[in-house]
């Protein structure tokens, strides 16, 4: 909404109505507020009118990192762990050097991989959310 005096398009009005519906679903608006703001958004002539209909609502949520970016970060981090292990391990450990050749990065990579997988499933909506649903009031 750079130019508030510019005329608004049908697509901008429809996007505003979707944002208002989302805000209602999150419990940010009452039904009366939703109705009033929808009328403002649908009757908007300018981008400023749309901005007034969306007044006091939080901006759109920023998109998270893509699964590919997570995978690249995981691969780079795992590679760095492997490199640290390779540089610090003893090539010819003595019989008394217990665990000198032990591949310890596997545990870090395992926990990190499980956490990333659960995060991806949760963010993608494949796992149920824990806690209250949007718009639900706390008990009491």
Range of weakest confidence among 8-22, 55-69, 73-87: 55-69
Query: Is the Cα dihedral 67, 72, 73, 75 positive or negative?
Result: positive
Q: What is the DSSP letter of 103?
A: -
DSSP string across 116-140: HHHHHHHHTT-SPPPSPPTTPPPP-
Q: What is the DSSP letter of 86?
A: H
CB 30 within 8 A of CB 135: no
Considering 29-43, 91-105, 117-131, the range whose residues carry the highest mean pLDDT is 29-43
> Per-residue pLDDT for 136 more than 60?
no
CB 138 within 8 A of CB 132: yes
């Amino acid at each position: 909404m750079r130019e508030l005096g510019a005329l608004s398009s049908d697509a901008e009005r429809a996007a505003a109505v979707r944002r208002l519906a989302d805000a209602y679903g999150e419990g940010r608006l009452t039904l009366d507020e939703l109705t009033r703001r929808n009328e403002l958004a649908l009757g908007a002539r300018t981008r400023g009118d749309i901005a007034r209909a969306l007044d006091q609502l939080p901006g759109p949520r920023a998109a998270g990192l893509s699964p590919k970016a997570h995978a690249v970060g995981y691969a780079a981090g795992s590679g760095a762990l492997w490199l640290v292990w390779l540089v610090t391990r003893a090539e010819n450990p003595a019989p008394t050097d217990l665990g000198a050749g032990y591949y310890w990065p596997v545990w870090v990579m395992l926990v990190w991989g499980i956490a990333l997988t659960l995060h991806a499933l949760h963010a993608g909506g494949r796992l149920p959310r824990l806690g209250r649903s949007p718009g639900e009031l706390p008990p009491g």
